[in-house]
């Protein structure tokens, strides 16, 4: 089944694409299977670069003998290379394969370089202002660069800095922190519902920024992300608000092609609205996920753990320096006090008692049913649900 889109295509670096971008979800939630399947339809598939060694038994076995963070980083780069090449193979020459890299990850520059060397068509960067992304990719001018931002002020800062380097973003993802899953682009939980993040406002203000900088409105595609869970929203954003595409995360995470454990998919798909909560992550950013036994227990103990926070690398349960800023390792009392890598890895394996399950705030288009990538994209492009779910 090939989606017959009524919408204008998304164009990035001369590639004509369906206006659908699959969000990057780590650890191991969106890798070669999911990204390749999405790209195969003619859309944008995304490999999340964080700690992909968990997808490879040989690399995990080697991890047991790692002598430090440098060894683990090397193994993750090997895994990223495998996943990007696998996604490209699964895409069969269609669509676009991107790699999502978090600016907050300490090894982000190495991950960007590896993504480019492995043949990724684009690098998508969020979790911080990607002001130096053009420098990181200078040896790979053909790779598209796509920052993730949440409001027009950040977009203006990035554009002005990049223009001084004679580089423009090939697209910009505008992520609404009050709807998206995972790490969110706001300073505090109380800020998530601020009107400055509303899509219509951000798009209008961004078009004004373009005009002030002498950029044509159509020069840089704008991709809205967060809470995109119905065909009607897609239609509104693309035909009324002026967006060029939409980014979708959770609805793809629960597809049959999703790279995570079936328990992970069921946990996301069956979560009720009251089971989806916001909390402060170890990276110093608000986050949104499912209230699993781990998260419920953690939130009950959070105040006590924060009161006892202290800067001590020995408190890092994995012995990693995976984040540039880590509440547990660095003793930051106002943010999360747990090992993010340990908890996301457990979620990838489907361990609901131990894992941190990131998820968007809105209902899924097919409810708890798990369908294919093609059925999901067909619905978002046409409004037609599978007959047994219509």
User: Domain holding 239: CATH number?
Assistant: 3.20.20.70
* Residue 323 pLDDT level (bands cut at 50, 70, 90): confident
- Count of domains in the chain? 2
Whether residue 90 is predicted with pLDDT greater than 90 in this model: the reply is yes
Residue 168 in any domain: the answer is yes
Whether residue 30 is predicted with pLDDT greater than 90 in this model: the reply is yes
**3-class SS at 146?**
strand
Average pLDDT rounded to a whole number, residues 257-280: 93
Q: Which residue has the higher pLDDT, 195 or 326?
A: 195
Burial 157-187 (b: 16+ CB within 10 A, else e): ebbebbeeeebbbbbbbbbbbbbbbbbbbbe
Range of the domain at 320: 272-348
Residue 4 in any domain: the answer is no
| pTM, rounded to two decimals | 0.93
SS3 content of the chain, % helix, strand, coil (to 5): 40, 15, 45
Average pLDDT rounded to a whole number, residues 196-219: 93
255-259, 318-322, 381-385: least confidently modelled range: 318-322
In a shared domain, residues 220 and 289? no
At residue 187, the pLDDT reads: 84
In a shared domain, residues 148 and 88? yes
At residue 251, the pLDDT reads: 96
Average pLDDT rounded to a whole number, residues 285-314: 89
Give helix 108-117 / helix 69-91 axis angle, nearest 10°: 30
Residue 282 in any domain: the answer is yes
At residue 111, the pLDDT reads: 94
In a shared domain, residues 369 and 305? no
Residue 186 in any domain: the answer is yes
Whether residue 318 is predicted with pLDDT greater than 60 in this model: the reply is no
In a shared domain, residues 172 and 249? yes
Segment holding 114, helix H or strand E? helix 108-117
Average pLDDT rounded to a whole number, residues 382-389: 85
Residue 358 per-residue DSSP state:
B
- Strands 144-149, 172-175: parallel, antiparallel or unpaired by DSSP? parallel
DSSP for 54-90, please give it: GG-HHHHHHHTT--SHHHHHHHHHHHHHHHHHHHHHH
DSSP for 252-314, please give it: HHTSTT-SS-HHHHHHHHT--GGGEEEEE-TTSSEEEEE--HHHHHHHHHHHHHHHT--B-GG
At residue 217, the pLDDT reads: 85
At residue 333, the pLDDT reads: 86
Does the CA dihedral 307-313-319-324 come out positive or negative? positive
Give helix 32-40 / helix 373-382 axis angle, nearest 10°: 40
Q: Tell me the per-residue pLDDT of 138-174, one tens digit each, with 9 for 90 and over.
A: 999 999 999 999 999 999 999 999 999 999 999 999 9
Residue 65 in any domain: the answer is yes
* Residue 91 pLDDT level (bands cut at 50, 70, 90): very high
Q: Which residue has the higher pLDDT, 291 or 310?
A: 291
In a shared domain, residues 144 and 254? yes
At residue 114, the pLDDT reads: 96
In a shared domain, residues 305 and 161? no
At residue 4, the pLDDT reads: 57
At residue 242, the pLDDT reads: 94
Residue ranges with strand state E in the chain: 10-12, 15-17, 20-22, 44-48, 96-102, 122-126, 144-149, 172-175, 182-183, 222-225, 245-248, 276-280, 286-290
In a shared domain, residues 107 and 241? yes
Whether residue 329 is predicted with pLDDT greater than 70 in this model: the reply is yes
In a shared domain, residues 242 and 276? no
- Please provide the average confidence, as pLDDT, over all residues in the chain: 91
In a shared domain, residues 35 and 182? yes
In a shared domain, residues 338 and 221? no
Residues sharing a CB contact under 8 Å with residue 365, sequence separation 6 or more, in sequence order: 229, 230, 231, 251, 376, 379, 380, 385
Residue 7 in any domain: the answer is no
Residue 251 in any domain: the answer is yes
Burial 123-132 (b: 16+ CB within 10 A, else e): bbbbbbebbb
Whether residue 207 is predicted with pLDDT greater than 80 in this model: the reply is yes
- Strands 182-183, 286-290: parallel, antiparallel or unpaired by DSSP? antiparallel
In a shared domain, residues 257 and 290? no
* Residue 317 pLDDT level (bands cut at 50, 70, 90): low
Q: Do you find a cis peptide bond into 27, omega within 30 degrees of 0?
A: yes
* Residue 1 pLDDT level (bands cut at 50, 70, 90): very low
% the chain with pLDDT above 70: 97
Residue 3 in any domain: the answer is no
* Residue 5 pLDDT level (bands cut at 50, 70, 90): low
The most confident of 72-76, 214-218, 323-327, 359-363, by mean pLDDT: 359-363
Does the CA dihedral 209-213-218-220 come out positive or negative? negative
Tally Cβ neighbours within 10 Å of residue 351.
19
Burial 368-379 (b: 16+ CB within 10 A, else e): eebbebbbbbbb
The most confident of 38-42, 311-315, 354-358, by mean pLDDT: 38-42
In a shared domain, residues 171 and 312? no
Q: Tell me the per-residue pLDDT of 125-139, one tens digit each, with 9 for 90 and over.
A: 987 889 999 999 999
* Residue 338 pLDDT level (bands cut at 50, 70, 90): confident
């Amino acid at each position: 089944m090939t989606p017959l889109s009524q919408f204008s295509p998304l164009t990035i670096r001369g590639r004509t694409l369906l206006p659908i971008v699959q969000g990057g979800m780590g650890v191991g939630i969106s890798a070669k299977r999911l990204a390749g399947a999405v790209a195969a339809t003619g859309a944008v598939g995304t490999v999340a670069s964080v700690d992909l060694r968990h997808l490879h038994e040989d690399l995990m076995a080697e991890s047991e003998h790692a002598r430090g963070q440098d060894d683990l980083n090397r193994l993750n780069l090997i895994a990223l290379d495998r996943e990007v090449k696998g996604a490209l193979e699964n895409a069969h020459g269609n669509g676009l394969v991107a790699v999502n890299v978090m600016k907050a990850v300490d090894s982000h520059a190495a991950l960007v370089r590896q993504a480019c060397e492995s043949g990724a068509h684009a690098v998508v960067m969020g979790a911080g202002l990607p002001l130096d992304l053009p420098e990181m990719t200078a040896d790979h001018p053909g790779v598209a660069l796509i920052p993730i931002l949440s409001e027009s002020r950040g977009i203006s800062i990035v554009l002005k800095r990049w223009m001084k380097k004679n580089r423009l973003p090939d697209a910009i993802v505008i992520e609404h922190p009050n709807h998206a899953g995972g790490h969110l682009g706001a300073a505090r939980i109380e800020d998530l519902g601020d009107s400055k993040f509303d899509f219509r406002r951000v798009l209008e203000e961004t078009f004004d920024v373009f005009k002030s900088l002498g950029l044509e409105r159509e020069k840089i595609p704008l991709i809205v992300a967060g809470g995109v869970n119905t065909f009607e929203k897609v239609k509104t954003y693309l035909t009324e608000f002026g967006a060029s595409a939409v980014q979708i995360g959770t609805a793809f995470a629960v597809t049959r092609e999703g790279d995570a454990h079936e328990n992970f998919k069921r946990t996301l798909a069956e979560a009720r609205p009251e089971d989806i909560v916001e909390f402060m992550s170890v990276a110093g950013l608000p986050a949104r996920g499912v209230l699993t036994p781990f998260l419920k227990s953690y939130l009950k103990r959070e105040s006590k753990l924060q009161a006892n926070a202290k800067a001590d690398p020995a408190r890092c349960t994995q012995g990693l320096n995976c984040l540039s800023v880590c509440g547990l390792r660095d003793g930051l009392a106002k943010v999360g006090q747990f090992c993010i890598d340990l908890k996301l890895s457990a979620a990838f394996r489907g361990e609901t008692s131990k894992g941190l399950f990131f998820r968007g705030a809105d209902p899924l288009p097919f409810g708890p049913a798990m369908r294919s990538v093609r059925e999901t994209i067909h619905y978002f492009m046409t409004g037609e649900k599978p007959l047994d779910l219509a």
